[in-house]
Amino acid sequence: WRGSAAHARGAVRSAHARAPPICAADAGPSAAAPARRGGAARAGGDGPSSWLRAPSDMDDSRRRESELEAWLTSHGVYLAATSSWGAAPHPLGIASQTKDQDLQPSGRGLLATRGVRQGDALFRVPEKVCITRRNAVAVLGADIATPALGEHETLALLLMRERALGAASFWAPYLNVLPSTAAEVGASFIWSDAELALLQGSAALNEAREFAARLRTSYSELAAPGGPIDTMAARALAPADAMSFEQFEWAMAVLFSRAINMREMDALVLAPYADLLNHSPGSNAIFEAEKPWASDGYEIVCYADRMYGQMEQVYLSYGKRSNQELLLLYGFVIDRNPFDEVVLRVSLDPDATPRYAEKSAFLRRGGRSDALSFPLRVDRFPDELIQFTRFACMGPEEGALETADYTRPLSVANEEAARTAVVDACRAALAAYPRSLDEDRRLLADKGARALLGGRGYAALRLCMNEKAILERAIRAVNALAW
Ligand SMILES: C[S@@+](CC[C@H](N)C(=O)[O-])C[C@H]1O[C@@H](n2cnc3c(N)ncnc32)[C@H](O)[C@@H]1O
Q: Taking residues 176-180, what's their average pLDDT?
A: 97
Q: What is the pLDDT of residue 98?
A: 96
Q: Given ligand 1 and candidates 62, 279, 322, which is best to mutate, with the most ligand atoms within 8 Å of its CB?
A: 279
* Average pLDDT score over residue span 226-235: 95
Predicted local confidence at residue 33, as pLDDT: 32
Query: Does residue 190 surpass a pLDDT of 80?
Result: yes
Instruction: Give the whole-number percent of the chain exceeding pLDDT 90.
Output: 81
Closest C-alpha residue for ligand 1 atom 24: 330
Helix (H) or strand (E) holding 65: helix 58-74
pLDDT in the model for residue 56? 60
Q: Is 265 helix (H, G, I), strand (E, B) or coil?
A: coil
pLDDT value, residue 28: 29
What is the tens place of the pLDDT at every residue in 191-200?
999 999 999 9
Using a 6 Å cutoff on CB, does residue 185 contact ligand 1? yes
Q: Which residues are CB-neighbours of 84 under 8 A, at least 6 positions away? A: 78
What is d(CA 374, CA 363) in angstroms, rounded to the nearest whole number? 16
For the chain, residues classed under CATH 3.90.1410.10 are: 48-320
Residue 259 has what pLDDT? 98
Helix (H) or strand (E) holding 204: helix 203-223
pLDDT reading at 47 higher than 90: no
Is 70 exceeded by the pLDDT of residue 147? yes
pLDDT at 41 over 60: no
Stated as kind and residue range, the H or E segment containing 303 is strand 299-303
Rounded Cα–Cα distance for residues 209 and 188 (Å): 9
**Domain 341-479: CATH class, spelled out:** alpha beta
User: Which run of H or E residues covers position 462?
Assistant: helix 447-479
pLDDT digits (tens, 9 = 90+) for 286-337: 999 999 988 889 999 999 999 999 999 999 999 999 999 999 999 999 999 9
10 contacts 427 by C-beta, under 8 angstroms: yes
Q: What is the mean pLDDT of residues 11-36?
A: 28
Where does residue 39 fall: left (phi above 0), alpha (psi -120 to 50 degrees), or beta otherwise?
Answer: left
**DSSP letter at 333?**
-
Does ligand 1 lie within 6 Å of residue 279's CB atom? yes
Strands 286-290 and 92-99: unpaired
Interstrand relation of 278-279 and 313-316 (parallel, antiparallel or unpaired): parallel
Residue ranges of the chain assigned to CATH 3.90.1420.10? 341-479
Quote the ligand 1 centre to 181 CA distance (angstroms): 14
pLDDT of residue 11 exceeding 50 = no
- The rounded distance, in Å, linking the Cα atoms of 29 and 132 is 11
Alpha helices in 78-165 (DSSP H): 133-140, 151-165
Q: Rounded to two decimals, what is the model's pTM?
A: 0.87
pLDDT tens per residue, range 246-261: 999 999 999 999 999 9
How confident is residue 15, by pLDDT bands cut at 50, 70 and 90? very low
| Cα(342)–Cα(135) distance, integer angstroms | 39
Output the CA 260–ligand 1 centroid distance in Å: 14
Mean of the pLDDT values across residues 119-145?
Answer: 96
Structure confidence by residue, pLDDT tens digits, 89-113: 999 999 999 999 888 999 999 999 9
For domain 48-320, which architecture applies? Alpha-Beta Complex (3.90)
On average, the pLDDT of the chain sits at 88
Bridge partners, residue 125, by sequence:
300
Measured over the CA atoms of residue 278, residue 280, residue 281 and residue 283, the dihedral's sign is negative
Predicted local confidence at residue 39, as pLDDT: 30
Cβ of 123 closer than 6 Å to ligand 1, yes or no, is no
Q: What is the model's pLDDT at position 294?
A: 80
Percent of the chain with pLDDT over 70: 88
Q: In this predicted structure, which of 84-88, 239-243, 346-350 has the lowest mean pLDDT?
A: 84-88
pLDDT of residue 483: 79
Cα–ligand 1 centroid distance for 304 (angstroms) = 19
Nearest to 204 by CA among 282, 316, 321: 321
H or E segment and range at residue 215: helix 203-223
- Ligand 1 touching residue 272 (CB < 6 A): no
Instruction: Tell me the C-alpha distance between 166 and 42, whole Å.
Output: 7
Between 436 and 9, the more confident residue is: 436
Mean local confidence (pLDDT), 339-364 = 96
What value does the mean pLDDT take over residues 5-15? 27
pLDDT at 27: 26
Distance CA 54, CA 210 (A): 29
> What number of CA atoms fall less than 13 Å from residue 133's CA on the CB side?
27
Cα 376 to Cα 383: distance, rounded to the nearest angstrom: 10
Q: How many whole angstroms from 383 Cα to the centroid of ligand 1?
A: 35
Average pLDDT score over residue span 456-464: 97
pLDDT tens column, 400-417: 999 999 999 999 999 999
The residue that leads in pLDDT, 56 or 35, is: 56
Taking a C-beta distance cutoff of 8 angstroms, is the pair 338, 323 a contact? no
Give residue 57's pLDDT band: very low, low, confident or very high (50, 70, 90). Answer: low
Does ligand 1 come within 6 angstroms of the Cβ of 188? Answer: no
Spatial distance between the Cα atoms of 427 and 420, rounded to a whole number of angstroms: 10
Residue 255 CA to chain centroid, in angstroms? 10
